A and B are shown apart, each in its own frame.
Chain A
């Protein structure tokens, strides 16, 4: 009796999202009850702030074409890790030399610590991520063209 009612509820696919959201609420409450969680001391790619640097939140490297010192998981797999971190394009280098605020637009320029992580040490993540975007774009484009 109860089972048939449950199965009727589940078989309507409009209800499945509600069911999943309910499960998420339950697990979130379980997580809250299991707090506090420990925070590991030895993190990868630790963040250090240097307020005087023009690259402020992202300054990890020395002059371009030198190897900066960054904490990676497997240093033996990326012998050249740190070069991208230290690199700035000539335009960015010019802006860094004349203003103090290049760090706020660091995503605009190739090089820097984020590019190092995104393309070099964790490059496979970025490949999968852009594949997801490519697939989603393909679905949207197919549906759009079919509609028009």
Chain B
């Protein structure tokens, strides 16, 4: 098969959904794995509020339940990214990508700040709207080619999926992966407990890289 990601190293069959590993997807998978382990191991940062004039420094405490919830979401996000990196089925990829989207909402939404929650809500709206092109494109791939498996689609000499359908798929992934926009604005500078927000940016980056491979392969 002519794959953009290099020669296929291994197959892992789950019924109709066959996971295939190429050097490209393996690299992305390891990246997601390393960052998930870092999230499990790391302690949340504490933010300092310095009041000028009053000569006062306040350490913002992150509540234990909030920290545990956000760590859970960050780990789930890491697992979802790993799945999205390896899966060899278009619809399964769409599902993993929307899982990344909803866990990103969870990471940001747990913060007790009106501003951050507003950003999380706006991001959630975009992620929810993003499922429309994502699932629509996957269904159109099935209808126009008769299969959802990327391995089968890659066997064709020329690309059988129409260009506009590919654009629809990329648009859906863009909607799900828009978190860093919000994370950068709402989270890094205003909310305590920074390490988990790395997962937002990293997972978005990874699903963007993967969707390019998917679009070039099918």
Residue of A nearest to B149 (CB): A73
Given contacts A13-B119, A38-B144, A139-B102, contact A31 B129 (CB under 8 A): no
Decide: B164 and A78 in contact? CB cutoff 8 A: no
Write the B75-100 contact mask toward A (1 if CB under 8 angstroms, else 0). Answer: 01000100100010101100110110
* Residue B205 at the chain A interface, CB threshold 8 Å: no
Decide: B171 and A122 in contact? CB cutoff 8 A: no
Decide: A37 and B95 in contact? CB cutoff 8 A: no
Decide: B146 and A41 in contact? CB cutoff 8 A: yes
**Count of inter-chain pairs, beta carbons less than 8 A:** 146
**Chain B residues with CB under 8 A of A7:** none
Report the count of interface residues on A (CB-CB < 8 A).
Answer: 45
* Residue A3 at the chain B interface, CB threshold 8 Å: no
The residues in B between 135 and 190 inclusive whose CB is less than 8 angstroms from any CB of A are: 140, 142-149, 152, 162-165, 167-168, 171, 174-175, 178, 181-182, 185-186
Given contacts A34-B162, A122-B16, A128-B83, contact A20 B175 (CB under 8 A): yes
C-alpha gap A79/B116 in the complex (Å) = 50
Decide: B181 and A13 in contact? CB cutoff 8 A: yes
**Chain A residues with CB under 8 A of B96:** 128
* Residue B67 at the chain A interface, CB threshold 8 Å: no
Q: Which 7 A-B pairs have the closest CB atoms?
A: A40-B146, A34-B164, A73-B16, A121-B15, A128-B95, A77-B13, A121-B16
6 residue pairs of the A-B complex, CB under 8 angstroms, read: A13-B122, A16-B122, A44-B148, A77-B14, A77-B15, A139-B110
